[in-house]
Structure 1
Amino acid sequence: MTKKWQYELIVPHEYNNKSIREYLSRYLLIPKHLIFNLRTEQRVLVNQKYLPMNFPIKTNDKISLTFFESDFSKQIILTNSKIKIDVLYEDDDLIIVNKPRGIKTHHNQPNENTTLINYVADYLKPKQPYMIHRLDQETSGAIIFAKNPVVVPILVEMIKQKSIKRNYTAWIKGHLKDSYGTIHEAIGFHPSDQRKRQINGSKAKNAITHYQLIKSSKTNDLVQISLETGRTHQIRVHFAYLDHPLLSDPLYNPETKSNDKMLLHSSSISLTTPFYHHELFINSPIPNEFK
Structure 2
Amino acid sequence: MRNGNKPPRPHGGAFNRSQTPPKTFKVTESGELLLFLLDKLAPQGRNSVKSLLAHGQVSVDDRVEKLYNHPLRAGQIVTVRKDRTTVAPPLVGLRILHEDDAIIVVNKDAGLLSIATDKETELTAYRQLTAHVRLDNPTNRIFVLHRLDRETSGVMMFAKSEKVQQKMQEGWKDIVKERMYVALVEGMVKKTQGTITSWLKETSTLKMYSSFTPNDGQHAVTHYKVIRASRNYSLLEVHLETGRKNQIRVHMQDIGHPVANDKKYGAKTKPFSRLGLHARVLAFEHPTTGKLMRFETDVPKQFLSQFKEEPTS
Specify the alignment match of 1:195 in structure 2: 206
| CA distance in structure 1 between the aligned counterparts of 2:288 and 2:146, rounded to whole angstroms | 19
Specify the alignment match of 2:181 in structure 1: 168
- TM-superposed deviation, 1:113: 4.4
- TM-superposed deviation, 1:257: 5.2
Contact preservation (8 Å) 2:223, 2:240: yes
Specify the alignment match of 1:112 in structure 2: 121
Q: 1:237 to 1:80 in 2, by over 3 A?
A: farther
Q: Which residue, out of 99, 111, 124, partners 1:90? A: 99
Specify the alignment match of 1:128 in structure 2: 141
Aligned residues: 211
Note the residue ranges of structure 1 that are not aligned, 5 or more in a row. Answer: 1-78
Contact preservation (8 Å) 2:276, 2:303: yes
Larger radius of gyration: 2
Specify the alignment match of 1:244 in structure 2: 257
* 1:37-56 mapped onto 2 (5 Å cutoff): none
| CA distance in structure 2 between the aligned counterparts of 1:80 and 1:117, rounded to whole angstroms | 14
Note the residue ranges of structure 2 that are not aligned, 5 or more in a row. Answer: 1-87, 305-313
Contact preservation (8 Å) 2:178, 2:282: yes
| CA distance in structure 2 between the aligned counterparts of 1:261 and 1:84, rounded to whole angstroms | 13
Q: Which moved more, 1:249-258 or 1:98-107?
A: 249-258
1:232 partnered with 2:245:
yes
Q: 1:142 to 1:174 in 2, by over 3 A?
A: same
Structure 1 residue ranges (4+ consecutive) displaced by more than 4 angstroms after TM superposition: 79-82, 256-259
Specify the alignment match of 1:46 in structure 2: none
| CA distance in structure 2 between the aligned counterparts of 1:149 and 1:184, rounded to whole angstroms | 33
Specify the alignment match of 2:37 in structure 1: none
TM-score normalized by structure 1?
A: 0.67
Q: Which residue, out of 290, 293, 297, partners 1:284? A: 297
Identity %: 29
- TM-superposed deviation, 1:158: 2.9
Contact preservation (8 Å) 1:80, 1:121: no
